[in-house]
Structure 1
Amino acid sequence: MKRVVPTSFPSDPFLDSPVTLGSAIRSARTQAGIRLEDAAMTIGVSLQTLVDIEAGKPGVSIGKILQVANGLGVSLFVLPQNQREIARRRLTDLTEDQSR
């Protein structure tokens, strides 16, 4: 059986591109030790859809992205732009505290 190599989450919690989101989703899957094929089957998406999401391809529907994120335990938050930097700092502080 092929071994899943864990990858780390992006260091900045701000999602500014499909690539950043794909990286976070890949990290959740690999840190859980789940193969691409198994994740796709369990979540109910095609293998190609999951590959495209993890690669950050922009053509995947938001519905499929949310389905995959939820299936892998990746949370997405929406907030007003004027609160973004405050939230970013707090989330960064929180994740740094938990890694100690």
Structure 2
Amino acid sequence: MKRVIPTAFPADPCLDNPATLGAAIRAARTQAGMRQVDAALSIGVALQTLIDIETGQPGVSIGKILQVAQGLGVSLFVLPPSQRDNARRRLADLTQPPL
């Protein structure tokens, strides 16, 4: 069986395009050690849907994206523009490895 190689989450937590969201979904799946086919099966979506999400294809419905995100434990947050920079800084502090 092919080994799953973990990928890193995007450095910037602001998901401003389908490719960045896809990278976060892929990181969650690979860090869980799941192959695409196994993740799709356990979440209840077609393999092609998961592939399209992970590769940032813009035509996937928001409902399917949220289903996959929830199934892989990825949380999405909505913030007003005035709070984004502060949230980025705080999230960066939380994700830094301890000294």
The separation in 2 between residues aligned to 1:81 and 1:63, in whole angstroms, is: 24
Residue 45 of structure 1 corresponds to: 45
- CA deviations on 1:37-76 (whole Å, 9 max, x unpaired) are 0000000000000000000000000000000000000000
Matched, 1:4 2:15: no
Q: Which runs of 4+ in 1 moved over 3 A?
A: none
The separation in 2 between residues aligned to 1:36 and 1:79, in whole angstroms, is: 30
Paired letter, 1:74: V
Give the % identical residues: 73
- CA deviations on 1:6-46 (whole Å, 9 max, x unpaired) are 10001111111100000000000000000000000000000
The separation in 2 between residues aligned to 1:10 and 1:23, in whole angstroms, is: 7
Superposed, 1:8-47 pairs within 5 Å as 8-47=8-47
The separation in 1 between residues aligned to 2:26 and 2:40, in whole angstroms, is: 12
CA displacement at 1:79 relative to structure 2: 1.2
> Gaps spanning 5+ residues in structure 2: where?
none
The separation in 2 between residues aligned to 1:84 and 1:57, in whole angstroms, is: 25
CA displacement at 1:2 relative to structure 2: 1.1
Paired letter, 2:77: F
1:39 counterpart SS class: helix
Whichever structure has more helix as a proportion of its residues is: 1
